[in-house]
Amino acid sequence: MTPRRSSKKHDERRSNTLLRDLLDELVEHVRNVAQSAAVMPREDLEYAQDRLEWLADEIWQKVMENPGDKG
């Protein structure tokens, strides 16, 4: 049986739900764009790129609010 990961690390991921939600949204957005980019109109691709940048900025700002906090 594989040893369980540190509960501290698990708790850290759960302690910052906003950051986790933003990261989940970013991953979902990237997956959706990757699957349909070949058939997306140019305007939709531009909006998708803008949204990717907005999400990345939100994540960066959230992380920088508490740079010593890993979660």
The domain tally of the chain equals 1
Which residue matches tokens 């979902």? 28
Domain enclosing residue 46, as ranges = 38-65
Q: Does a structural domain hold residue 33?
A: no
Flag whether 48 is in a domain.
Answer: yes
What's the whole-model pTM score?
Answer: 0.69
pLDDT of residue 42: 96
Average pLDDT over residues 23-34: 95
Residue 21 belongs to a domain: no
Position 16 scores a pLDDT of 82
Rounded CA separation 52/67 (Å)? 22
Question: In this structure, how many other beta carbons lie within 10 angstroms of the beta carbon of residue 45?
Answer: 13
How high is the pLDDT of residue 38?
A: 94
pLDDT in tens, 11-20: 555 678 889 9
Asked if residue 12 is part of any domain, the answer here is no
- For the segment 53-69, what is each residue's pLDDT rounded down to a tens digit? 999 999 999 889 876 66
